[in-house]
Structure 1
């Protein structure tokens, strides 16, 4: 007894774009939705990424315009180790500083400095319009890098959101097509069975 070799099914690529007597209007619509979904996802990702990077860069520029550096001195020696439970440890410690504005007014505040720095050490601190010490702004290459990273993170998220919307539309089309096939089979199925019985 000879054994029949298994049949290999070769998938037909891009069948929705080829001439096919079995192809339905919904298949063509689905093909266009898939194409449009990928194109819109790509465009949305690029647009959102560029917009996010630009917004981030604008935020850095706006903050830089609201603060300015001043030369200050430590009024007391800095501790040699950070205080326990002081939160994020960047290797520096808090110390009292003093600086004088251009109009001669004297200000004091606390700033992070190198551990163990003696009193009288000169440092540069950033202050806001209320003459309070604030963290140094992100500038230069660091600002450019953070803006680029922001855009790189936002771009795929926006693209995935658009692609997901297209996938939902496509899923509804698939369910509709399956329902159409089911209705047609209910009509053709009984006749197909009668034809098979007649041949037997």
Structure 2
């Protein structure tokens, strides 16, 4: 709004300088870019991220299976044994040696994280694996992918707005510097004794 009021104020003002009008126009252009370009960039980025993330969701759900594993023995518990893929990030998991059958029918044994507080031999738990039976991270769900896409769109819009505002401030700063330089040159032309008593001015 300051840009529009600036243009209106300087419209017929006899004290208007070219830089005053240029600053007002820079503000108006920046405002229009903020209102039009930033939302378009954010929306385009969000749509692109949504497409890529939903494709990743489909691929992960196609290549990962939930199987039932059986505890052979528990390993030492580490305070760092938390599932990074869990929604809260605080789901405590215990490291165990377990047996499981892969989707292709082969049997596997290895150290994995189980959602069991006190695992005992023979306890069952679910485990995500790839199609060949190797332990895999939990597949990304559609809602989380959408959230990430929305955040990417918002981030892109904010970054665009920041770049536009930064460009406007840089342009105004350069105009002000040139204005001050012109004032300095005008003062130099007026002479070093201008305004002093006894110099005849």
TM-score, structure 2 as length reference: 0.68
CA RMSD in angstroms, aligned pairs only = 3.6
On the 8 A contact 2:72/2:96 being kept in 1, the answer is yes
Q: Equivalent residue for 1:108?
A: 109
Q: Deviations over 1:124-178 (max 9, x none)?
A: 3222355421221221323322332333344323321231122112211111122
Q: Equivalent residue for 2:72?
A: 76
On the 8 A contact 1:98/1:108 being kept in 2, the answer is yes
Q: Which of the two has higher C-alpha Rg? A: 1
1:91 aligns to what SS in structure 2? coil
1:132 aligns to what SS in structure 2? coil
Instruction: Summarize the Cα distance change of 1:122–1:62 in structure 2 as closer, same or farther, 3 Å threshold.
Output: farther
Q: CA deviation at 1:93?
A: 1.3
1:182 has 2:184 as partner: yes
Q: Equivalent residue for 1:7?
A: none
Q: Which runs of 5+ in 2 are unaligned?
A: 85-89
On the 8 A contact 1:98/1:106 being kept in 2, the answer is yes
Q: Equivalent residue for 1:14?
A: 5
Q: CA deviation at 1:51?
A: 4.1
1:21 aligns to what SS in structure 2? coil
1:34 has 2:30 as partner: no
Q: CA deviation at 1:15?
A: 4.0
Where does structure 1 differ by over 6 angstroms across 4 or more consecutive aligned residues?
none
Q: Equivalent residue for 2:87?
A: none
Count of aligned positions: 183
| Further displaced range: 36-45 or 175-184 | 36-45
Q: Which runs of 5+ in 1 are unaligned?
A: 1-12
Q: 2:70 and 2:5 mapped to 1: Cα distance?
A: 72
Q: CA deviation at 1:20?
A: 0.7
TM-score, structure 1 as length reference: 0.69
Q: Equivalent residue for 1:5?
A: none
On the 8 A contact 2:72/2:99 being kept in 1, the answer is no
Mapping 1:1-200, distance limit 5 Å: 14-18=5-9, 19-64=12-57, 65-66=59-60, 67-78=63-74, 82-83=77-78, 90-113=91-114, 114-128=116-130, 131-187=133-189
On the 8 A contact 2:104/2:131 being kept in 1, the answer is no
On the 8 A contact 1:76/1:119 being kept in 2, the answer is yes
Q: CA deviation at 1:44?
A: 4.6
Q: Equivalent residue for 1:10?
A: none
